[in-house]
Amino acid sequence: PRLAPAVRTRFAKATQRLAAAFAELLTKLGHKAASEEANSMLAELLGALSLARMEANAERSDAILAGSRQQLKYRLALEQQA
């Protein structure tokens, strides 16, 4: 079932603010497609968190989060800043 319209609107506004904050940071780091990258990053972070929370095996859960974090850093060329 879907959330109530008011809840969906509020959630959408919050995710838009978060994506905009990511995009601003990525722009400062010189990423040309910062908005698109921010949306992709947010989707991956939320997906990884959801999968990790559903995983019964703690090692597998940790691996999901670590793998996502590592790939985001690599894809966004953030390793040198980390």
pLDDT of residue 80: 64
CA-CA distance, 35 to 64, in Å (whole number)?
Answer: 25
Q: Does residue 81 carry a pLDDT above 60?
A: no
Reduced to 3 states, what is the DSSP secondary structure of residue 35?
A: helix
Provide mean pLDDT across the span 54-78.
Answer: 95
pLDDT of residue 82: 45
Query: Any idea what DSSP says for residue 76?
Result: T
**pLDDT, tens digit (0-9, with 9 covering 90-100), for 9-65:** 999 999 999 999 999 999 999 999 999 999 999 999 999 999 999 999 999 999 999
pLDDT of residue 79: 77
